[in-house]
């Protein structure tokens, strides 16, 4: 019988618990929460990302199939589609944005000395643009074509470690691509833009 930790639990050990608790407290993430904590929500969504789950139903089915092993993953709350949907809809996204900034601040110095294959004294960045399809009935503000919706995400990557240092999200029909590039001219700024209030920028430490 394996008495050690699961690989997933070992990966989650790298998440600084004190930072996460601070983010939750800052935005009152546990206000009126009964039995599905922000940590449970984060673990479920991290598991979904790492295992390439495609929907809430897929997440629920996969996690419930683990049965008693959920405890060893660190998940204590009851898993259901409605619980996950409610948590994703009502809890403040800034909890996870602040955690991302903390992780990026920790990760970037670890790769600062990595070679790029070319001799450069300054940091090199790459700008990526991705279109993300959305459901038009749920996101009417992001209408892209007659029957579908989408947003366009610009991501600035530090090529040492391929770590994102800036993210800007706009409706796919937006022609303001130049503004996305301009907002990345100062890579010390980490950007989260969430529709319909698009601009919400916070400087990294």
Per-residue model confidence as pLDDT tens digits over 152-178: 888 888 888 888 888 888 888 876 554
pLDDT above 50: residue 198: no
Cα–Cα distance between 149 and 51 in angstroms, integer? 26
Are 194 and 139 in contact, with CB atoms under 8 Å apart?
A: no
Our separate counts of H helices and E strands in the chain read 8, 5
Q: Quick one: pLDDT at residue 176?
A: 55
- Binned at pLDDT 50, 70 and 90, residue 184 comes out as low
Instruction: List, in order, residues 6 or more apart from 147 with CB less than 8 Å away.
Output: 136
Q: Quick one: pLDDT at residue 91?
A: 93
pLDDT above 70: residue 22: yes
- Binned at pLDDT 50, 70 and 90, residue 188 comes out as very low
Are 91 and 41 in contact, with CB atoms under 8 Å apart?
A: yes
Are 54 and 80 in contact, with CB atoms under 8 Å apart?
A: no
- Cα 165 to chain centroid distance, Å, stands at 13
Are 137 and 173 in contact, with CB atoms under 8 Å apart?
A: no
Q: Quick one: pLDDT at residue 179?
A: 52
Cα–Cα distance between 75 and 77 in angstroms, integer? 6
């Amino acid at each position: 019988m394996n008495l050690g930790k699961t690989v997933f639990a070992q990966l989650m050990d790298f998440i600084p618990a004190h930072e996460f608790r601070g983010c939750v407290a800052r935005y009152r993430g546990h206000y009126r929460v009964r039995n599905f904590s922000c940590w449970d929500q984060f673990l479920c969504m991290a598991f979904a990302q790492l295992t390439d789950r495609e929907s809430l139903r897929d997440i629920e089915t996969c996690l419930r199939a683990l049965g008693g092993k959920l405890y060893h993953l660190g998940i204590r709350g009851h898993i259901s589609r409605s619980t996950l949907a409610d948590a994703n809809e009502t809890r403040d996204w800034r909890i996870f944005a602040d955690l991302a900034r903390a992780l990026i601040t920790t990760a970037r110095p670890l790769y600062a000395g990595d070679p790029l294959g070319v001799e450069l004294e300054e940091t090199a960045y790459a700008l990526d643009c991705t279109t993300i399809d959305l459901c038009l009935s749920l996101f009417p503000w992001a209408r892209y074509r007659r029957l579908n919706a989408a947003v366009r995400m610009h991501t600035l990557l530090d090529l040492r470690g391929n770590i994102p240092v800036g993210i800007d999200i706009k409706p796919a029909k937006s022609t303001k691509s130049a503004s996305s590039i301009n907002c990345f001219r100062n890579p010390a700024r980490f950007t989260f833009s969430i529709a319909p209030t698009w601009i919400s920028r916070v400087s990294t430490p």
